[in-house]
A and B are shown apart, each in its own frame.
Chain A
Amino acid sequence: MVYEENKTEAVEMRHIISILLENEAGALSRVAGLFSARAYNIESLTVAPTDDPSLSRMTLVTTGTDEIVEQVCKQLNKLVDVVKLVNLTDDVHVERELILIKLVAEDERRDEVKRIMDIFHGHVIDMTDTTYTVEVTGDSEKIDAVLKALEHITMLEVVRSGQLGMARGDKGIV
């Protein structure tokens, strides 16, 4: 019996959703407002104009059961500003995130940080006598790994861009 009950429990999964929306004032708040109004999760959200300045591309990471995420997508599609929506999770796709970290780098730490950056293909993009600012890009697992690798070093500031995503293959979103 115990096993059966466990089986029926709905599994929460991470979903990455790509959205094309009108590049208009208020469009972003419609999306963000929908999530807060309906008590959906947002793990990360990035948005910027595309090559077509009238459109913005948004990548949104959320967690939920399949039913909830299906509702999220339907509700997002209902927003008049949303032109097109794809749940990238359904198919093979690439994900990238950028992290900037400002950390204390003195004495032997300066070499150590550079070595860690080499391993993760990151770069030192700014420095002072006592600090480095580094950048690393990758999927979220890699970004988490970088943070773990630097755990023992004092970090002054951390900023992550949130996920960007795109389906693999020759098809575009529109």
Chain B
Amino acid sequence: MELTGAEIIIECLKAEDIDYVFGYPGGAVLHIYDAFYKQDDVQHILVRHEQGATHAADGYARATGKPGVVLVTSGPGATNAVTGIATAYMDSIPMIVITGQVPKHLIGNDAFQEVDSVGITRPIVKHNFLINDVNDIAETFKKAFYVATTGRPGPVVIDIPKDITAEKVAFEYPSEINMRSYNPAVVADEGQIKKAVELMVKAERPMIYSGGGVIIGNGSEQLRTFTRSLGYPITQTLMGLGAFPASDPLSVGMLGMHGTYEANMGMHHSDLLIAIGARFDDRVTGALEKFCPDAKIIHIDIDPASISKNVKVDVPIVGEVTQVLDAVNALLEKAAEKTNKGAIEKWWAQINEWRAQDCLKYDRESEIIKPQFVIEELHKVTNGDAYITSDVGQHQMFAAQYYGFDKPRRWINSGGLGTMGFGLPAALGVKLAFPNEEVACITGESSIQMCLQELSTCKQYGLPIKIINLNNGYMGMVRQWQEFFYEKRYAMSYFDALPDFVALAESYGHVGIKVEKTADVRPALEEAFKQKDRLVFLDFITDREENVYPMIPSGAGLNEMILV
């Protein structure tokens, strides 16, 4: 039987087991929307802005591990999606973005709502396609999903001219795909693994530094076995939180610009760094010339281009995290007992001394609400088990520092690109994937306004997420930098006119609660989570000039932190 291009697209999504598509209609995709209308297998979630669609699909992908799918129209539809595509690209999130395009004969003609979507998105996708022939749709989709979800994952854009979606052709979805130019399957070198294990056993001041790759590669179990069999300290990046439980005594917390004292000092003084699925980002390393001066470095990563990109590595291991750590763990079954117990004991004593600094302390007696306190109370009210999305800024760092993630895929934030506006739509995507789990979006009064319109989407689909708005009236992180480095000249980092967030939430049909006193934080949170079927917008009026500590100023080394 012959199907239209639009119907073929739906069939491809069904074949890939896609349950939700996040999108927004427009001229170039009307045939596809018509095909959506005629079926019930794939549910379309109508967002209020294409950026919201990409973040929602992204949140869905981060929480489930499945690819998120986006459908937008040509021109502004595609350009509005760009921020979300770049967000997913920076954090290696599998995503398929279908962009409508003007009919083939108009391409290059400056037609209405025409942009070169493939050209615009080229540097922010793992790969992209412009389909020229209805016969190519099925194979292109197969390739797109294959590329997006294998190796180091990433977003793939498929640009489809409108005329093709109306043409008819027989449909057959390829059962497998072979691309001569793309071979993501890598088997790690055994010799390298042995060499790494030898170094691990001999280490006197080891530090495990794990990143988002462990979560994306579903390597949490292996990481736990690995870390516990060695009994070495582990620090995790912003993207890696939850792969190893924060509550485990082996965890020394997050590292980097706003990492803990013990994590950063441990990194700096280590003699062996075991990097797993982490990419030595500048927010993690601080000044490169001062980075881990005494350490030999083992780096396990799926992407060869991540190896020795910023920091020269001694033992590179390219492979899937699960496969590599399984192999390492097998060797450690015998080798782990040979570790240098005396040295490791001394090392832990040193780390515990750093830990005693209590670098995350803050004024818990304050009557003015401390943002840190809200996060700690949120942890208690949700038993530390909620899916937490965040926007970008101080609240994001407070969430990373104080929520204490014990499970992977629970902490969903834009780490690489740092996209304000990510949190709310991402939470929407997570809640669709896990309707019975608690989902909270930790945000600030500046970030939330960047994708605020998605409150309407939440209403339409009945998504009772909880919004934790840490409202200090400033773009907090910008203000903090201005305080530290620009002599408190707060240029453009505050709003003269903020909305009444309670009234705003109510106008969208949600519940709004304003909280102004520390004593009211806990009851307000409890009340919010009691309302199982309502979105509750909690507007916490917090200390206006609280700062995120510790902090490593740019150009400084990991041992040069500013403490409280």
Contact = CB atoms under 8 A, between A and B. Distances in A.
Interface in B310-347: 312
A80 B303 contact: no
Contact of A33 (B123, B179, B182, B308): B123
Contacts of A75: 305
A77 B305 CA distance: 9
A128 interface: no
A29 B119 CA distance: 8
A26 B312 CA distance: 33
B309 interface: yes
B122 interface: yes
Interface in A34-85: 34, 37, 67, 70-71, 74-75, 77-78, 80-83
A82 B180 CA distance: 9
Interface string B199-234: 000000000000000000000000000000000000
A80 B147 contact: yes
A25 interface: yes
Given A37-B123, A77-B304, A21 B118 contact: no
B296 interface: no
B181 interface: yes
B123 A80 contact: no
Given A33-B122, A37-B123, A78 B305 contact: yes
A77 B183 CA distance: 10
A88 to B, nearest CB: 20
Given A22-B181, A81-B181, A71 B305 contact: yes
Contacts of B123: 33-34, 37
Contact of B127 (A25, A33, A74, A80): A80
B417 to A, nearest CB: 15
Given A70-B308, A78-B303, A25 B130 contact: yes
A53 to B, nearest CB: 15
B252 to A, nearest CB: 31
Interface residues of B, number: 20
A168 interface: no
Contacts of A37: 123
Interface SS of A by simple majority:
helix
B305 A26 contact: no
Interface string A86-104: 0000000000000000000
Contacts of B305: 71, 74-75, 77-78
A26 B118 contact: yes
B181 A82 contact: yes
Interface in B122-158: 122-123, 126-128, 130, 147
B302 to A, nearest CB: 11
Given A33-B122, A80-B147, A83-B181, A67 B127 contact: no
A80 B308 contact: no
Contact of B309 (A25, A30, A71): A71
Nearest to A22: B181
A71 B307 CA distance: 9
Nearest to B156: A80
Contacts of A81: 181
A80 B123 CA distance: 13
Given A25-B130, A80-B127, A30 B122 contact: yes
A169 to B, nearest CB: 24
Nearest to A34: B123
A78 B309 CA distance: 14
Nearest to A21: B181
Contact of A80 (B130, B182, B309): B182
Nearest to A54: B180
B306 to A, nearest CB: 9
Contacts of B308: 67, 70
A28 to B, nearest CB: 11
Nearest to B128: A26
Given A70-B308, A74-B305, A83 B126 contact: no
Interface of B: 118-119, 122-123, 126-128, 130, 147, 179-182, 303-305, 307-309, 312
9 contacts: A25-B130, A29-B119, A67-B312, A74-B305, A74-B307, A80-B126, A80-B179, A81-B181, A82-B181
Interface of A: 21-22, 25-26, 29-30, 33-34, 37, 67, 70-71, 74-75, 77-78, 80-83
9 closest Cβ pairs, A-B complex: A74-B305, A80-B127, A83-B181, A37-B123, A80-B182, A74-B304, A78-B305, A75-B305, A33-B122
Given A80-B147, A83-B180, 4 more contacts: A26-B128, A30-B122, A33-B122, A33-B123
